[in-house]
Structure 1
Amino acid sequence: MKIATIEAIPYSIPYVHPLHFASGAVHEADHVLVRVTTDDGIVGTADTPPRPYTYGETQKSIVAVVQDIFAPQLVGLDVFDREKAQTVMARTVHNETAKGAVDIALWDVIGQALGRPVTKLLGGFTDSMRVSHMLGFKPAAELLDLAVQFRETYGISTFKLKTGRHPIGLDVEAARVLREGLGEDAEIYMDANRGWSANEAMEVLRRTNDLGLQFLEEPDDAREVLGRRRLVEKSMIPIAADESAPNLGEAAREILTGGANLLAVKTARSGFTEAAKIVGLAEGMGVDVYVGNQIDTQVGTVASVVFGAAFAHTSKRAGELSNFLDMADDLLAEPVVIAEGRIRVPQVPGVGTAVDEEKLTKYRTDR
């Protein structure tokens, strides 16, 4: 079974509630749908979220690299030769989310061809993932109201607080208000998106020491090497690498050199193949991981659930799986359901990311 075509379809869906964070803001999901079709007519699907502020990829660059660079080299390849596909794409530096989408689409094809859910092929550890919801920049009281609403409506009890604004004022206040309002049972962690210096992060940790925060993600720019390592060494909670560790090599570097002691795994930027290698590296070194969010659509969220539920190591912590709720619409044919704080894995052959073709026609921007 060989790859016949690879498509990269740009589309745009607005957000009902724009998301704001230290490295930028997102008002529309200007994503790319990647489709791999075999000579037998099987179609594998994946979603690609450009993050120009973080990785330098744009919607146009993803379309170009998939169609002009990857497709000519991958068409004709046996779909089961995943390592060959990885080697081909590795010749092009960066472009993580473009590579990740092609890989996930290939896994989708493989699952369909074998008649098995991809989560079973990857590991099959559990049938659902616990959900963490991301809270963006808002006044502290509004953040608390929103968190309470999500807990009452969806059963979510884990929250990521986007910080990186004014560390001693707004950020510390928001963390304290959430803890006091949600109680001790709620799991709360912070993500500064490189918005502070290491010294500012150290002061935030000192002022929030009594709040029982789970961990702190990307407090400062990882290139602030000495400050970052001092922070990791002295912090009482884990310091997580996210955008500073987008691939296997950089994840290994951050852990081995003391730049982090917790890793975010995002299938949108690493696909399933490289993400599994990152999880194996972390587990072997005794480092925890969690499934992060690229502000994914439902198509991207299903991929994250499928991967996260496949491994015991990724299932320990809640995954960031709910921000599609801020979108006005979606492409997924069977909408994602959050119940009792969890999302169940689709029990269908492949990944379970079948697309509503009418919605794709409506939102695609290349016609």
Structure 2
Amino acid sequence: MKITSIEAIPYAIPYSKPLRFASGEVSVAEHVLVRVRTDSGLTGTAEAPPRPFTYGETQASIIAVINTIFAPQILGLSALDREVIHARLGRTIANPTAKAAIDMALWDIIGQSLGVSVTQLLGGFADRMRVSHMLGFTAVDQLVAEAERVQGTYGITTFKVKVGRQPYRLDVAACRALREALGDDVELYIDGNRGWTATESARALREMEDLDLTFAEELCPADDVLGRKWLASQSRIPLYADESTARPAEITREILGGAAHGISVKTARTGFTYSQRIVYQCEGLGVEVVMGNQIDSQIGSLCSVAFGAAFASTARRAGELSNFLDMSDDLLTEPLRIEQGTLRVRENAGLGLEIDEGKLQHYRQDL
């Protein structure tokens, strides 16, 4: 299964409504579809979602690094040579989603070659995951209405609430309104995207202690080393690290340094290979994990649920798998369906991912 070519195809699909949060806003899914082809006739597929406000990648930079640096380094290697491939990709710093897409496409090829799903290859713990839905910045009445609609339509009972605005009491009021409207049986947690200082975070958390938040994610910047440690030492709400822990060494820093109590795992930035290492690392440290969302399309969500369902630790919590619901269209021939608050993995070999070529032609940006 020698790698013969790698395609990096830019496409753009508008969201029916933008997602706003402390570090940015996304109104169009300007992603890069990645296809790895082999001489055996098998093709692996995944995608890279550019998030310049988080990782510094753009659609153009992802295409450039794949075409000019990554592809020449790994063409001719076997899809099974994952360690060699990662060693060569690792010569180039950063570019996490470009690397992750190549990695997930390779796992797709291996699964297809063996006739088993990626979930089975990774661990095969479950055949589905509970779904968490992400709520962005908007007026309180609209926020509550969206949560009630998602709960009523899809049976979702876990919500991630974007916070980090100024003044912080805007977000405290929003979370309080959600708790009052949705009741005690719904799970709520917050994500600040580094929008607050440590002292603002501490005040906000104190004012939300009665809301029974499951945890709070990335409230202040990763380079505020002492502030994050101080916040974690006094918070009664567990703190989870997200964009500050894109590599295993960063997880060691945050957990052993006392700055975080849990970790968000995102296949869009660490693929399947490094996400697996992170899960095992967290298990060894006794640290809980959650499957995060990179504002993924259905392709990215399919990759996330394939990974998250494979392990007991990742399948324990609801995964952030539903924000494709806000896209005006998608590329899969068979759309994902959230039913009774859960999303099933595909039982097909590999990722079970089939692209609608007509839609790809319509939305691609390089023709």
Task: Extract unaligned runs of 5+ from structure 1.
Answer: none
- Which residue does 1:154 correspond to in 2? 154
- Which residue does 2:189 correspond to in 1? 189
CA distance in structure 2 between the aligned counterparts of 1:176 and 1:170, rounded to whole angstroms: 10
- Which residue does 1:89 correspond to in 2? 89
Q: Are the aligned partners of 1:167 and 1:196 in contact in 2 as well (CA < 8 Å)?
A: no
- Which residue does 2:329 correspond to in 1? 329
CA distance in structure 1 between the aligned counterparts of 2:226 and 2:325, rounded to whole angstroms: 39
2:159 aligned partner, one-letter code = F
- Which residue does 1:298 correspond to in 2? 298
* CA deviation map 1:168-197 (0-9, x unaligned): 421000010011111100000010100000
* CA deviation map 1:15-34 (0-9, x unaligned): 11111000010110110000
- Which residue does 1:18 correspond to in 2? 18
Q: How far 1:237 moved relative to its partner?
A: 1.6
Q: Are the aligned partners of 1:222 and 1:259 in contact in 2 as well (CA < 8 Å)?
A: no
Higher mean C-alpha deviation, range 160-169 or range 276-285: 160-169
Q: Are the aligned partners of 1:124 and 1:309 in contact in 2 as well (CA < 8 Å)?
A: yes
CA distance in structure 2 between the aligned counterparts of 1:85 and 1:354, rounded to whole angstroms: 25
Q: Are the aligned partners of 2:132 and 2:160 in contact in 1 as well (CA < 8 Å)?
A: yes
After superposition, residues 10-49 of structure 1 pair within 5 angstroms as: 10-49=10-49
CA distance in structure 1 between the aligned counterparts of 2:220 and 2:365, rounded to whole angstroms: 36
The sequence identity of aligned pairs, in percent, is 58
* CA deviation map 1:256-284 (0-9, x unaligned): 21121110000000000000000000011
Q: Are the aligned partners of 1:196 and 1:220 in contact in 2 as well (CA < 8 Å)?
A: yes
Count of aligned positions: 367
Q: Runs of 4 or more off by more than 3 Å in structure 1?
A: none
2:321 aligned partner, one-letter code = L
CA distance in structure 1 between the aligned counterparts of 2:34 and 2:251, rounded to whole angstroms: 26
Q: 1:167 to 1:315 in 2, by over 3 A?
A: farther
- Which residue does 2:280 correspond to in 1? 280
SS at match of 1:314: helix
* CA deviation map 1:45-103 (0-9, x unaligned): 00110000010000000001111111001111011111111111111100000000000
* CA deviation map 1:202-244 (0-9, x unaligned): 0011101111000000110021111110111111121111111
- Which residue does 1:121 correspond to in 2? 121
Q: Are the aligned partners of 2:134 and 2:320 in contact in 1 as well (CA < 8 Å)?
A: yes
2:207 aligned partner, one-letter code = R
2:4 aligned partner, one-letter code = A
2:223 aligned partner, one-letter code = R
Q: How far 1:167 moved relative to its partner?
A: 4.7
Q: Are the aligned partners of 2:169 and 2:204 in contact in 1 as well (CA < 8 Å)?
A: no
1:358 aligned partner, one-letter code = G
- Which residue does 1:78 correspond to in 2? 78
CA distance in structure 2 between the aligned counterparts of 1:135 and 1:98, rounded to whole angstroms: 26
1:99 maps to 2:90: no
Task: Extract unaligned runs of 5+ from structure 2.
Answer: none
SS at match of 1:133: strand
1:184 aligned partner, one-letter code = D
After superposition, residues 134-283 of structure 1 pair within 5 angstroms as: 134-283=134-283
* CA deviation map 1:304-358 (0-9, x unaligned): 0000000001011110000001101001111000000000000000012211111
TM-score by length of 2: 0.99
* CA deviation map 1:287-311 (0-9, x unaligned): 0000000000000000000000000
SS at match of 1:206: helix
2:179 aligned partner, one-letter code = R
RMSD of equivalent CA atoms: 0.7
- Which residue does 1:309 correspond to in 2? 309
